């Protein structure tokens, strides 16, 4: 889905629904259970929260969990907080509306051509790790718990049960700034390196948030397909597959 940063942008837009009483819910049965979601009708929205990549709407009838897959965009009252999603559709076709939630004077919808978004009542968030906006200290603690893992550093960064909310682009940016080869086994990091990686993770998350999203980093989509060079040392980026995802890294300064 949009990564945790985009989910946060969606959450902020969803705050407009706090205090509203829901009057109707329409859902594509591939993305949610219409019978289950119908329990929201008549409920009042109490708060809009976020955990990792999920937006959670607390209501008087339960929690509505929104997961946006890879191409899901949230549109509130006709306003799209993210106008165009990287790797998403370039149009806003009503046929791709997979969820529509109405209140008396408001409408919220998820437009998702690829149908990977999911909407559930009372989502199980118990397996999620610390949130991507957690403090350096909390991220460091999460890293220490999984210090033994032999999977690539990038795979651990992407593991939602370790840190919830980091996606492919943020993971590449963290490795870039930390100067680590994303393929390097996480278990090869010593205690100090894990602590440093935690600090970089917290810093990168905040910087990308300030710049406007997961795509704004040095390794972002703007240069992912055209082949660019590392802004630090001029070396052409290497493009490969790590943890099952397209990955870009500098073969010189990322070790």
Footprint of DNA (CB under 7 A): 1-3, 6, 30, 52-53, 67, 69-70, 82, 85-91, 96, 113-116, 146, 149-152, 155, 158, 160, 167-169, 186, 213-215, 221, 224-225, 241, 243-246
CB closer to DNA out of 46 and 218: 218
CB closer to DNA out of 32 and 52: 52
CB closer to DNA out of 102 and 115: 115
d(CA 31, CA 27): 7
- Shortest Cβ 74–DNA spacing (Å): 10
- Shortest Cβ 60–DNA spacing (Å): 26
CB closer to DNA out of 43 and 171: 171
d(CA 119, CA 125): 13
- Shortest Cβ 230–DNA spacing (Å): 18
**Which residues lie across from 144 on neighbouring strands?**
none
- Shortest Cβ 130–DNA spacing (Å): 15
CB closer to DNA out of 136 and 216: 216
List, as one string, the DSSP characters of 53-121. Answer: TEEEEEETTEEEEEE-TTT-EEEETTB-SSSS-TTS-SS--GGGEEEEEEETTEEEEEE-TT---EEEE
CB closer to DNA out of 96 and 249: 96
**Cβ-Cβ contacts under 8 Å for 207 (sequence gap 6 or more):** none
CA dist list (Å): 128 to 19, 51, 157, 158, 253: 28, 8, 13, 12, 32
Element housing 141 (H / E): helix 136-145
CB closer to DNA out of 102 and 114: 114
**Cβ-Cβ contacts under 8 Å for 205 (sequence gap 6 or more):** 4, 5, 132, 133, 166, 170
d(CA 255, CA 253): 6
Element housing 247 (H / E): strand 245-249
Cα-based torsion angle of the residue sequence 129, 133, 135, 141 in order, rounded to the nearest 10 degrees: 20
């Amino acid at each position: 889905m949009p990564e945790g940063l985009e989910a946060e942008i969606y959450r902020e837009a969803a705050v407009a629904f706090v205090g509203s009483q829901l009057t109707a819910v329409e859902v594509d049965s591939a993305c949610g259970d219409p019978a289950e979601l119908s329990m929201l009708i008549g409920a009042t929205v109490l708060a809009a929260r976020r955990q990792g990549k999920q937006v959670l709407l607390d209501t008087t009838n339960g929690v509505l969990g929104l997961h946006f897959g890879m191409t899901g965009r949230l549109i509130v009252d006709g306003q799209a907080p993210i106008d165009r999603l990287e790797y998403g559709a370039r149009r806003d076709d009503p046929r791709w509306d997979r969820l529509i939630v109405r209140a008396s004077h408001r409408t919220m919808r998820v437009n998702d051509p690829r149908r990977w978004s999911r909407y559930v009542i009372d989502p199980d968030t118990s397996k999620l790790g610390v949130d991507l906006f957690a403090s350096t200290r909390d991220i460091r603690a999460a890293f220490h718990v999984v210090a033994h893992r032999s999977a690539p550093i990038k795979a651990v960064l992407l593991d939602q049960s370790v840190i919830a909310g980091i996606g492919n682009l943020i993971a590449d940016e963290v490795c870039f700034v930390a100067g680590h080869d994303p393929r390097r086994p996480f278990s090869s990091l010593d205690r100090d390196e894990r602590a440093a990686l935690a600090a970089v993770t917290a810093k990168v998350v905040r910087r990308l948030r300030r710049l406007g999203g997961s795509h704004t980093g040095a390794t972002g989509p703007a240069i992912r397909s055209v082949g660019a060079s590392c802004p630090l040392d001029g070396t052409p980026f290497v493009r490969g597959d790590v943890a099952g995802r397209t990955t870009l890294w500098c073969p010189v300064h990322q070790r």
